[in-house]
Amino acid sequence: MHILITGAGRGLGRSLASVSARSGHSVSICSRTAPAVALEHGVRHWFADVADAGSIAAFVLGAVSVHGAIDVFVNNAAVLGGKGRIEDANANDVRSTIEINVTGAFLALAAVLPHVRRPGARLLHLSSYVGRVALPRYGAYAVSKFAMEGLARLAAAENPDLISIAVDPGMVATDMLTAALEGQSAVAGAAPASAESAALRLLALSERLQLADSGATLTLD
């Protein structure tokens, strides 16, 4: 099975690449910077910027030339951006966050769709709790995750032979979560999962999805 993951240089995406390769799958990843740790056998890395249509298209074409049609696409690339109240937002930060998290997710999906295995390929769009519940001070990031939920549903409506879902991974111990919490502890009774354990559950979820799931938002918790 060929699994393609955007923004997988570190964090949950990098862990998903690792556990997928250890499970015997072929894995293609991209990131704007070098991966945080060495790649496992079966993982190929490309430098790409999801917000650049030419860059992401080159990545997808390169991945398909190496590993063949895509069975699972994980639309993962995202940044947290600045936190704060709407009226205090920095315009450049808002534009940058939306450019990567929304425009980038859309362009990545557009590049992938002609190369997925039909029928039954799985499209997993990484969302968040703040993509359904408007938590104060999450700014453009929250807006971007609401958009990701919509993108998953749009892809499901336009491609009835594919499985397109939004996935809320819950709290995962990554640098992004640390930044989001701003030095505060996680909510009592809800300790973050390790990136590897979350990745294992995400891989298992991708393997049991059915067409009836398409258009839904599923959680790993």
Tokens matching residue 95 = 């534009």
Residue 129 is among the residues annotated as catalytic for this protein: no
Tokens matching residue 221 = 């918790």
Cβ atoms of residues 5 and 76 within 8 Å:
yes
Query: Which candidate, 192, 143, 145, places its Cα nearest to that of 167?
Result: 145
The residue from 70, 80, 141, 206 that is catalytic is 141
Cβ atoms of residues 119 and 164 within 8 Å:
no
Query: CA 169, CA 187: separation in Å to the nearest integer?
Result: 16
Tokens matching residue 8 = 């997988």
- 10 Å CB burial of residue 84 (0-12, 13-18, 19+) is middle
Query: Which candidate, 218, 220, 177, places its Cα nearest to that of 11?
Result: 177
Catalytic annotation, residues: 141
